[in-house]
Amino acid sequence: MADLALLASGRDADVFALDESRVLRHYRQGGDTAPEAEVMAYVAAAGYPVPAVYAADGPDLVLERLDGETLLDALLAGRIDVGAGAELLVDLHDRLHRLPARFSAEPTDRVLHLDLHPQNVMLTSRGPVVIDWRNAAEGPADLDVAMTALIFAEVAVGRDAQLADFAREGLDAFQQRATPPRASQLRSALGMRRVNPTLSVVEKAALDHAAALVHTRVG
């Protein structure tokens, strides 16, 4: 991949340009991208906005190359205000959670993204598109909401003071608009973050502080 142009790098993957219409998403630690491709195909067939998947092979996904910018970049630059960004995230949750689970026999289970935050939403010429489905699973919809709120809260208690203030504002706006998750689902989200290999020791040590910022309901 040395001859490919690097477009972006995340905690566990790099994205390279293949041509004007396709990108290669490569997971640095390996793994099987087939499950990610399958869930993306499932939600796409139901009309949910995701990049088109052209191929999945081991740690590599060939995906539609999207135009535009991330919701995070638009928020930080002031091109979209925090309230509108929060409304967009809530709408993307609501739309996703109208889709029934593919495999679970529990009738209330839904498809969950479990990493649905502003950096994983692209604002494109065809509207918002949700990227990075590696953590996707099935379960109660409010687990997904709890995870988004917790990720906001992690940044809010982080060491970057300017970003922390911004994340706290984003968390407040999101929680004003989303139905609060049950306390049990926040505990589940917290447990998942504790074993997330992409989080640093410092980030994991702050998880309880972050969780204390998230509003929940009984359950």
What CATH number does the domain containing 41 carry?
3.30.200.20
- Round the CA-based radius of gyration of the chain to a whole number and report it: 17
Mean pLDDT of 14-27: 94
Mean of pLDDT over the chain: 96
Quick: pLDDT tens for 31-78. Answer: 999 999 999 999 999 999 999 999 999 999 999 999 999 999 999 999
Judge if 102 and 42 occupy the same domain: no
Q: What is the pLDDT of residue 89?
A: 98
How many of the other CB atoms lie within 10 Å of CB of 102? Answer: 12
17 with 84, same domain: the answer is no
> Does 80 score more than 70 pLDDT?
yes
Domain that holds residue 151: 69-211
The average pLDDT across 150-161 equals 96
User: Confidence class of residue 178 from pLDDT cuts 50, 70 and 90?
Assistant: very high
Report in angstroms the alpha-carbon separations of 106 from 21, 36, 39.
39, 21, 18
In a domain, 216, yes or no: no
pLDDT at 213 over 70: yes
Per-residue pLDDT at 1 exceeds 70 = no
Q: Is residue 126 part of a domain?
A: yes
| Nearest partner of 119 among 15, 5, 6, 10, judged by Cα | 10
Does 34 share its domain with 50? yes
Are residues 55 and 91 located together in one domain of the fold?
no
Based on the domain organization, do 116 and 145 belong to the same domain? yes
* Same domain? 105 vs 45: no
What pLDDT, on a 0 to 100 scale, did the predictor assign at position 145?
A: 98
The answer to whether the Cα torsion of 176, 182, 183, 188 is positive or negative is: negative
Give me the pLDDT at residue 2, please: 64
Query: In total, how many domains does the chain have?
Result: 2
The position carrying tokens 């706290």 is: 168
Q: Of 64, 80, 114, which marks where a domain is finished?
A: 64
pLDDT tier at 10, thresholds 50, 70, 90: confident
- Same domain, residue pair 76 and 56: no
